[in-house]
Amino acid sequence: MITFMNNSDSEEEPCNERTSLMSAESPPVPSYQDGLQASEAGEAQAHRKRRTGSSRSPNNTADGDMSDLGVPVRESALENEEEEVTLKYGAKHVIMLFVPVTLCMIVVVATIKSVRFYTEKNGQLIYTPFSEDTPSVGQRLLNSVLNTIIMISVIVVMTVFLVLLYKYRCYKFIHGWLILSSLMLLFLFTYIYLGEVLKTYNVAMDYPTLFLVIWNFGAVGMICIHWKGPLQLQQAYLIMISALMALVFIKYLPEWSAWVILGAISIYDLMAVLCPKGPLRMLVETAQERNEPIFPALIYSSAMIWTVGMAKPDTAAGGPSHQTWDAAEEGRENHSSPSHADSGMLETRSPVPTRPITSFEEEERGVKLGLGDFIFYSVLVGKAAATASGDWNTTLACFVAILIGLCLTLLLLAVFKKALPALPISITFGLVFYFSTDNLVRPFMDTLAFHQLYI
Partner 1 sequence: MGAAVFFGCAGIAFGPALALFLLTVAAEPLRVIVLVAGAFFWLVSLLLASLIWFVSVHLSDREDAKLQYSLLIFGAAVSVLLQEAFRKADEGLATISEDGRSPISLRQMAYVSGLSFGIISGVFSVINILADSIGPGIVGIHGDSPYYFITSAFLTMALVLLHTFWGVIFFDACERRRYWCLGLVVASHLLTSGLTFLNPWYEASLVPIFILTLLTGLWAFLTAGGSFRNVLKCLSCKGGAGREGRATEGVTAATRGLFR
What are the catalytic residues? 269, 373
Please tell me whether residue 367 adopts helix, strand or coil conformation. strand
Q: Looking at 22-30, 160-168, 362-370, 402-410, which segment touches partner 1 (CB under 8 A)?
A: 402-410
| Residue 452 binds partner 1, judged by CB under 8 A | yes
| Residue 303 binds partner 1, judged by CB under 8 A | no
| Residue of the chain from 32, 171, 392, 416 that contacts partner 1 (CB under 8 A) | 392
Residue among 269 and 391 whose Cβ is closer to partner 1: 391
Q: What is the CA angle 312-316-319, rounded to 5? A: 120
| Residue of the chain from 121, 133, 400, 416 that contacts partner 1 (CB under 8 A) | 400
Q: Looking at 55-63, 238-246, 296-304, 434-442, which segment touches partner 1 (CB under 8 A)?
A: 434-442
| Residue 92 binds partner 1, judged by CB under 8 A | yes
Please tell me whether residue 370 adopts helix, strand or coil conformation. strand
Residue among 244 and 380 whose Cβ is closer to partner 1: 380
| Residue of the chain from 88, 116, 121, 228 that contacts partner 1 (CB under 8 A) | 88
| Residue 95 binds partner 1, judged by CB under 8 A | yes
Residue among 2 and 400 whose Cβ is closer to partner 1: 400
- Cβ burial, residue 75 (10 Å; 0-12/13-18/19+): middle
| Residue of the chain from 63, 79, 285, 326 that contacts partner 1 (CB under 8 A) | 79
| Residue 444 binds partner 1, judged by CB under 8 A | yes
How many residues of this chain interact with partner 1, rule: CB under 8 A? 40
- CA 382, 387, 388, 392 torsion-angle sign: positive
Residue among 71 and 95 whose Cβ is closer to partner 1: 95
| Residue 397 binds partner 1, judged by CB under 8 A | yes
d(CA 166, CA 128): 28
d(CA 168, CA 187): 31
Q: Looking at 66-74, 88-96, 269-277, 369-377, which segment touches partner 1 (CB under 8 A)?
A: 88-96
- The set of long-range contacts for 78-81, using a CB threshold of 8 Å and a minimum separation of 24, is 78/36, 78/39, 78/40, 81/39, 81/40, 81/42
| Residue 455 binds partner 1, judged by CB under 8 A | yes
Shortest distance (Å) from residue 264 CB to partner 1: 24
Q: Looking at 130-138, 275-283, 361-369, 393-401, which segment touches partner 1 (CB under 8 A)?
A: 393-401
Residue among 122 and 389 whose Cβ is closer to partner 1: 389
| Residue 98 binds partner 1, judged by CB under 8 A | yes
- CA 53, 56, 57, 58 torsion-angle sign: positive
Site for partner 1 in 193-252 (CB under 8 A): none
Residue among 284 and 403 whose Cβ is closer to partner 1: 403
d(CA 201, CA 114): 9
Residue among 311 and 455 whose Cβ is closer to partner 1: 455
Distances in Å between the Cα of 415 and the Cα atoms of 88, 138, 203, 300, 425 are 15, 43, 52, 21, 16
| Residue of the chain from 55, 114, 291, 436 that contacts partner 1 (CB under 8 A) | 436
The H-or-E segment that residue 102 falls in is helix 71-114
| Residue 445 binds partner 1, judged by CB under 8 A | yes
Instruction: Say how many C-beta atoms besides its own lie within 10 A of residue 183's C-beta.
Output: 16
Q: Which among 350, 398, 325, 406 is positioned nearest to 373, based on CA atoms?
A: 406
| Residue 44 binds partner 1, judged by CB under 8 A | no
Residue among 130 and 433 whose Cβ is closer to partner 1: 433
Q: Taking every pair of C-alpha atoms in the chain, what is the biggest distance, in angstroms?
A: 81
Q: Which among 361, 344, 364 is positioned nearest to 295, based on CA atoms?
A: 344
Q: Looking at 55-63, 216-224, 329-337, 443-451, which segment touches partner 1 (CB under 8 A)?
A: 443-451
Check residue 360 and report its DSSP letter: T
d(CA 376, CA 374): 6
d(CA 122, CA 30): 59
What is the binding site for partner 1 (CB under 8 A)? 79-80, 83-84, 87-88, 91-92, 94-95, 98, 390-393, 396-397, 400-401, 403-404, 407, 433, 436-437, 439-441, 443-449, 451-455
